[in-house]
Amino acid sequence: MEYGLCNPVYLHRHYFGQIEAGLATPYSAAAGDLNLHTLLGWVLSGILAVITGWRYVLRLQNKDNLPLAYMGMNAILTVIVIFQVYLGDKLVWVYGLHTEAVVQAAREGLLK
Q: Rounded distance, CA 34 to CA 90, Å?
A: 9
Per-residue pLDDT, averaged over 24-31, amounts to 70
Per-domain residue ranges for the chain? Answer: 4-107
Look at residues 103, 54, 101 and name the one whose alpha carbon lies nearest to residue 74.
54
Look at residues 105, 86, 84 and name the one whose alpha carbon lies nearest to residue 40.
84
Query: pTM higher than 0.85 for the full model?
Result: no
Please report the pLDDT score of residue 21 as a whole number.
53
- Does 6 have pLDDT greater than 60? no
Q: Rounded distance, CA 74 to CA 25, Å?
A: 34
What's the pLDDT band for 11 if we cut at 50, 70, 90? Answer: very low
**pLDDT tens per residue across span 37-95:** 989 999 999 999 999 999 999 999 988 889 999 999 999 999 999 999 999 888 888 87
Q: Rounded distance, CA 96 to CA 66, Å?
A: 42
**pLDDT tens per residue across span 83-92:** 999 998 888 8
